[in-house]
Structure 1
Amino acid sequence: MLDRLFLEHPRTVGETYPQHMAASLGVASRLFVASLKCVVHAVVPGWCKTSGSDAIVKLHSEIAPRRYDQPTF
């Protein structure tokens, strides 16, 4: 069970557990920064006009080619 939860998915994308953790945390940090910019944009619409959508487009172009058909649970 531990293998399925912690090691199986990283193997399917050609990474070790620490490599996959680092990649996932990198994506999370980029999304966090983008979300903060969206909050700024909500308060002051003239600032960070495309920051959120730019981050989504860039992350999608990086992540989509690596996707595999598999459940996420």
Structure 2
Amino acid sequence: MFRRFTDHPSKVNETYFQHMAMSFGFGSRMLVGALACFVHGFFPWLCLTRGSDTVRALHHRMVTHRVAKPVPGPNGVLAASD
């Protein structure tokens, strides 16, 4: 039962609480980026790059800085997990 809370975080080298903090951080930045997109939709001269800047920053933080534990694939070869 408790493995459901720890399996995924351990695959990305985080504890449950570290993963929660990272997720909350990502979620809050996505909310701010989304709100900026809505503002931009109504007022095209405002928030010109906030949405795309948020996406780029989050992608950089999540994908290029992730250090995932290698896990064996179906043929026994190690592959990075998500």
Would you say same fold, with TM above 0.5? yes
User: What are the Cα deviations for residues 6-34 of structure 1, in whole angstroms up to 9, with x where unaligned?
Assistant: 10111111111011001001000000000
* Structure 1: segments with no counterpart, 5+ residues: none
In proportion to residue count, which structure has more helix? 1
2-structure distance, mates of 1:14, 1:64: 14
- Aligned to 1:54, the other structure's residue is in SS state helix
Aligned partner of 1:54 in structure 2 is: 53
Matches within 5 A, 1:1-73: 1-3=1-3, 5-65=4-64, 66=66, 68-70=80-82
Where relative contact order (Cα < 8 A, 6+ residues apart) is larger, the structure is: 2
**Gap runs ≥5 in structure 2:** 69-79
TM-score (normalizing by structure 1): 0.86
Count of aligned residue pairs for this structure pair: 69
The runs of at least 4 aligned residues of structure 1 exceeding 6 Å deviation read: none
Structure number with larger C-alpha Rg: 2
More strand by share: 2
